[in-house]
Structure 1
Amino acid sequence: MSLTPAFLDELRMRTSLSTLIGRTIKVTKAGREYKACCPFHNEKTPSFTINDEKGFYHCFGCGAHGDAIRWMTDQRGLPFMEAVKELAQAASMDVPAPDPRAAKRAEAAKGLHDAMAAAQSFFEEQLGGIDGAEARAYLAKRGISDATRRAFGFGYSPDSRGRLKSALKEFGDPMLVEAGLLIDPDALEADAKRATKRDSYDRFRGRLMLPIRDIRGRVIAFGGRILGAGEPKYLNSPDTPLFDKGRTLYNIDRASPASRNTGRVIVVEGYMDVIALAQAGFGDAVAPLGTALTEHQIERLWKMVEVPILCFDGDSAGQKAAIRAAMRALPLLRPGHSLAFATLPVGKDPDDLIRAEGPAAMNAVLTNAQPLVDRLWNHEQSVAPLDTPEQKAALKQRLGAITEAIQHSDVRAHYAHAFRERYDALFFARPAFNAAPRGQGGGAAGRWQRDRKGNWKAPLAPAGAEARAIGATGMEQRLLRAVLASLLRHPEQIPRHRETLSSLHVADPVLAELLAAMIAASMRKETVVTDTLLTILGQGEVYNMAKGMLRADTFTFTPNRMIPDASRLSRDLEEAIGVMAQGPELEAALAESTRRFESDFSEANFAQQQRIRALKAEHDQRLAELAQPQDID
């Protein structure tokens, strides 16, 4: 079908966007525009605007933007042509006729939809009849109510090779085979040269039937559960012109509107998990159809919510499925879009948990869902021992492979930073320095001691006491602000110092966010300039801090004086960043030497402590010099 730009423009012009959107969410008049709480992300203060005159909507919170057609495809989940047809019908416009081949495909699809609807009616009728007694007993045993049975369209396929075929004979065998309702035995064999043709027969026999619907609620396939002994336990329709199991999610038609109210989508392992959750009040659950979660299904979930929750069993198979989904999502990650992982107790599925402990227990499992980064970190820690240096290095290598799989540069940089912090904390944790006041313990540094001649000496004051008293809000932070201000003016310097900058532990959350954004920007392929950095920061506290740093006319060390000497600029930055990185290392070394001296008052240990104390004093002096405010003439 060919739709001209003129036709689409006319369709948009005839559509009142505020009225269309107002059918789904509450909108209020705001001057010449309308406002609402954005349906694409959770918010309490409206940032979603609708402009009827220009024919577009825009969210200043998450960036969602589009026209009437985009609204129908993104928010309603309709295919493009279905969205156009629905809007055209409301606007009393005729959609241009399709070309003959497209018309033929559409007619064939219509016939298949009719056949599937007829099959659904047949299965529902059989469930209520004599043959459906065993299936009804199974549903009662599982605690499935009549209301749930009707809502999900449960049915029954008789244990016969030709009951469905006879009931739907007006559609003809070829169409029923194409719909996946009949099996053509000749088509299953590679050698089609047979003397006689064998008859087709019903695909589903003696099974509890569940319809699989598309986003519009039309039956496109079936899933059948066997009631007695036999394999497979669950049997799905094959791929057909209507059904692609890698692109379809079970219960998408019901979960999509439910998710708009909850702001959540739960992904579970199978049909019955979805149904058990829905009956317990969790209507926003979906399931893949016998396969691992695919890229197409992840993208489909992200159209509903930014962070769907994957809730798999706690056994080995369930956790393997969770990790497969995590790995498959890595190349697709983008700002704001991720996965979360909720783990059920071992040996329990959602139905078991809800029956045993009630919906509150299920809600607790969902509330405690792990972010993707946590699930990946925990998994990689557990897959192999971490006792030797080689095993620890292997963990670092596995984490690096995960990071490299992420295509979005900003997300990749943040994952690298998060993994680096956790890795360092696990293997290179720095013991806290014990600087207790005199008379309150705190080791050898806080007690009277004998010198080499046996004379008593007063306790040694902790090295760098002034610097540590000022702490994260004083000298170190003052120097860090100076470094960041310099890097804002000279962003070409960031890559040279990126590794050291990434290792810094920044206490102030706003400064930490600014530093992380600068490191992430430096990992892009294009050259980063100051204006680009400010654009990336957007609006907010971090942006305001950065602007303030650029406006300041007094700074704390040479690079901020905007001198033209690039080599000196780099050297001065290297020294300042090195001083900041060296501080925690010296602190840790001094704490360790003090611990050794405290346990063994030997001359060697005393000399080592004093040597490190002197280095620490020199470091603190240099820190104070670099962090000293200086006016510029």
Structure 2
Amino acid sequence: MAITPQWKDELRARITLSSLVQRSVKLTRAGREWKGCCPFHEEKTPSFYVNDQKQFYHCFGCGAHGDAISWMVDQQGLQFMDAIKELAGMAGMEVPAPDPVQAKKAEQRASLIDVTEAAQRFFVDALGGPSGGAAREYLTRRGFSAQIMAEFGFGWAPDDRQALPRALSQFGEEMLEGAGMRAHNEQGERYDRFRGRVMLPIQDARGRVIAFGGRILDKREGVAKYLNSPDTELFDKGRTLYNLHRAAPAARQSGRVVVVEGYMDVIALANAGIADAVAPLGTALTEMQLELLWRMVEVPVLCFDGDAAGQRAAMRAIARALPLLAPMRSLSIVRLPAGLDPDDLIKAQGKSAMEKLLASPATLIDTLWEFERDAQPLTTPEAKAGLKARLMAHVETIADPEVKSLYRRELSDRFSAFAYPPRPQRPLTSQRGAPFTRGRSGQVQPQGLSEGARAQLSGFRPGAQRQGLLQAVIAGFARFPQAIARHTEALSALARATPDAAPMIESLFELAEMLDSQPPTAICSEQGQPVPSADIRYAFLDEGTDPDAACEELAEAVSLLVERPALEAALAATIARFDSDPEGSFAEQTRLRAQLMAVEERLKAFGRRKAAAATGEDAA
């Protein structure tokens, strides 16, 4: 049988991770966890934590993260099976016998790695030999240092169809072809796959050569500029990231991993001192490659060319990532200046220009919004509706319900702000249609609310629930007109929500605009101030109340009048979209109902104050 995920889960459950780690790292208790100095990077202040309940360790300094198995591999340096065997011995478990079929495949892979490692040595030797002169000149012209060329294993494949069989005669044709080094045509002729190309080894996460990439020196019609090994028992391009074995340790130090479009971009960054870069291998990022990236950091940085092709590549990556998004798992996007790849940018503007771009990437949602917004002209209602449809189609691909709900709300808000911008405010006009102007010394002094407004106040009857409060508020503003300007926006919203009250609210605005710059004596006359109904008894209407306190209570009354209908309307809209978005609707309903309950409590408190005031006056 094979080592199944269930077997590994049982193994982890039987191992106390903190005890395992404490064999080589000094840990101290920190609540439910253990902490100490990280063994993966130099530090003086502990940022390395071990959680036995969750069965993982994590360093907040360098990002190192893993379980008991990865601890044995990454920190102790064991191979995977050796780590499994040692942990199984500690846990008193038997290691499952290997599957014969899998065991045979593993043996074949080991043999094929012998082929690729030998081929790598041959290519390196050829680069230093007589036939490699043009390749050496090309690499020097590209500005790659000798150290980088040695580190990345540059080589040269001679322009010879039968070079490998002669150089690697210890391996038969079947093994050479199985490793992707040889191919054959319809006539059965066998030949070297890589000829006349600068060669780069492609390595797995353990640094073993499993495939190759080759680049021609000069453009030739009908010949691909880059050529990668085909998929083999060793190499699956959709599950491999170029430079992963070097970038993973660097990413622990930087807390970042950069994804560029090709391996030459990776090497250009490394040549400039940016070591935490990887690249896919001739294809768009796959789900498995995204999972590899997320094992290193929560938000990998994807770096694309600034042209249209780079933008399309970014959207392909985003489309792949959306179904896999989860809390604390996303992508960020860097767009290079148009026409420049990382090597060009670094040569033209220096490493600092590249680091500046990497330090401020765009978020995934920003990139998605901008791409779809700019995809076509949005000059008609139909085009705008198409934008919303495209955005919601992306949202529907997200599997995580919480992330999906938040994306729907955020993109809906952005669309609403874009499609329904605020209209310019009409200048406030009097009932005669003339614009209001603030009174100044020497101008005709106002006489307060008009007779019509006072008649409207006494005769106005809104809904029974808010009738008394609304009358009191209007009377309160007539008494404290200096407070009207502070609540202009709220009163405008109230006028929209309660059309029958709009004429009186407009009269309040007129009253505020006509105030003299001196204290408001001009509207304090009996003639100018409407008298509220006898049953309206609020503190801000009582003559003995402190003016500041009265204005504060008046402000709360306005807030209550505006908030409740707005919350009720929002709740109705949320309930209406329950079928299309049950998770988001339910969460929003819960929030809105809680706010409504809070408003109800405030209304009750107002009612109690009103009753107390009335009782006190009766007693007097």
Distance 1:159 1:20, change over 3 A: farther
The residue that corresponds to 1:107 in the other structure is 107
The residue that corresponds to 2:204 in the other structure is 214
Distance 1:48 1:478, change over 3 A: farther
Deviations 1:29-50 (A, max 9, x none): 227962158999xx99858334
What's the offset of the Cα at 1:246? 1.1
8 A Cα contact 2:260 2:303, kept in partner: yes
What's the offset of the Cα at 1:84? 3.9
The residue that corresponds to 1:28 in the other structure is 27
Deviations 1:112-139 (A, max 9, x none): 1111111111111111111111111000
Q: Matched residues in 2 for 1:243 and 1:210: separation?
A: 14
Q: Matched residues in 2 for 1:431 and 1:107: separation?
A: 72
The residue that corresponds to 2:543 in the other structure is none
Q: Name the % identity.
A: 44
Q: Matched residues in 2 for 1:522 and 1:37: separation?
A: 46
State the secondary structure of the residue aligned to 1:291.
coil
State the secondary structure of the residue aligned to 1:210.
strand
State the secondary structure of the residue aligned to 1:153.
coil
> Given the alignment, which residue of 583, 600, 608 partners 1:524?
583
The residue that corresponds to 2:278 in the other structure is 286
Q: Matched residues in 2 for 1:39 and 1:379: separation?
A: 43
Counterpart amino acid of residue 112 in structure 2: L
Counterpart amino acid of residue 115 in structure 1: V
The residue that corresponds to 2:177 in the other structure is 177
The residue that corresponds to 1:447 in the other structure is 438
Distance 1:424 1:290, change over 3 A: same
Pair 1:406-2:398 in alignment: yes
Counterpart amino acid of residue 86 in structure 1: A
The residue that corresponds to 2:574 in the other structure is 498
What's the offset of the Cα at 1:299? 1.5
Deviations 1:52-86 (A, max 9, x none): xx79336799x99974126568x89x9xx953433
What's the offset of the Cα at 1:280? 1.0
Alignment of 1:589-628 (within 5 A): 628=606
Distance 1:351 1:520, change over 3 A: farther
Q: Matched residues in 2 for 1:112 and 1:470: separation?
A: 75
Q: Matched residues in 2 for 1:119 and 1:137: separation?
A: 22
Q: Matched residues in 2 for 1:21 and 1:159: separation?
A: 56
Pair 1:315-2:307 in alignment: yes
Q: Matched residues in 2 for 1:526 and 1:392: separation?
A: 24
Deviations 1:390-442 (A, max 9, x none): 22222121112121121211111111111122122223233687999xxxxxx
What's the offset of the Cα at 1:444? 3.7
Distance 1:141 1:108, change over 3 A: same
The residue that corresponds to 2:130 in the other structure is 130
What's the offset of the Cα at 1:445? 3.9
Pair 1:272-2:264 in alignment: yes
Q: Matched residues in 2 for 1:39 and 1:446: separation?
A: 73
Q: Matched residues in 2 for 1:177 and 1:164: separation?
A: 11
Deviations 1:480-530 (A, max 9, x none): 9998xx99xxxxx99755279x9xxxxxxxxxxxxxxxx999833998899
Deviations 1:198-251 (A, max 9, x none): 442211011100001111111110000011332100000000011111111111
Counterpart amino acid of residue 237 in structure 1: S
Find the structure with the greater CA-based Rg: 2
Distance 1:95 1:119, change over 3 A: farther
> Given the alignment, which residue of 341, 346, 349 partners 2:333?
341
What's the offset of the Cα at 1:282? 1.0
What's the offset of the Cα at 1:183? 0.7
8 A Cα contact 1:435 1:462, kept in partner: no
Counterpart amino acid of residue 172 in structure 2: G
Q: Matched residues in 2 for 1:477 and 1:57: separation?
A: 54
What's the offset of the Cα at 1:101? 2.4
The residue that corresponds to 1:612 in the other structure is none
Q: Matched residues in 1 for 2:325 and 2:562: separation?
A: 31
Give the gaps of 5 or more residues in structure 2. 429-433, 450-480, 494-551, 613-620
The residue that corresponds to 1:570 in the other structure is none
8 A Cα contact 2:427 2:435, kept in partner: no
Distance 1:555 1:347, change over 3 A: closer
State the secondary structure of the residue aligned to 2:149.
helix
Deviations 1:133-158 (A, max 9, x none): 11110000000000000111111111
Q: Matched residues in 1 for 2:161 and 2:50: separation?
A: 58
TM-score, normalised to structure 1's length?
A: 0.67
Q: Matched residues in 2 for 1:354 and 1:183: separation?
A: 38
CA RMSD of aligned residues (A): 4.8
Pair 1:48-2:49 in alignment: yes
Q: Matched residues in 2 for 1:22 and 1:480: separation?
A: 66
The residue that corresponds to 2:363 in the other structure is 371
> Given the alignment, which residue of 230, 240, 255 partners 2:232?
240
8 A Cα contact 1:264 1:309, kept in partner: yes
Pair 1:259-2:259 in alignment: no
Give the gaps of 5 or more residues in structure 1. 437-442, 488-492, 503-518, 535-545, 561-623
TM-score, normalised to structure 2's length?
A: 0.68
The residue that corresponds to 2:83 in the other structure is 86
8 A Cα contact 1:148 1:279, kept in partner: yes
Distance 1:447 1:427, change over 3 A: farther
What's the offset of the Cα at 1:179? 0.7
Distance 1:211 1:7, change over 3 A: closer
The residue that corresponds to 2:193 in the other structure is 203
Aligned length, in residue pairs: 497
Counterpart amino acid of residue 170 in structure 2: E
Deviations 1:596-631 (A, max 9, x none): xxxxxxxxxxxxxxxxxxxxxxxxxxxx96894868
What's the offset of the Cα at 1:369? 1.0
State the secondary structure of the residue aligned to 2:161.
coil
8 A Cα contact 2:15 2:68, kept in partner: no
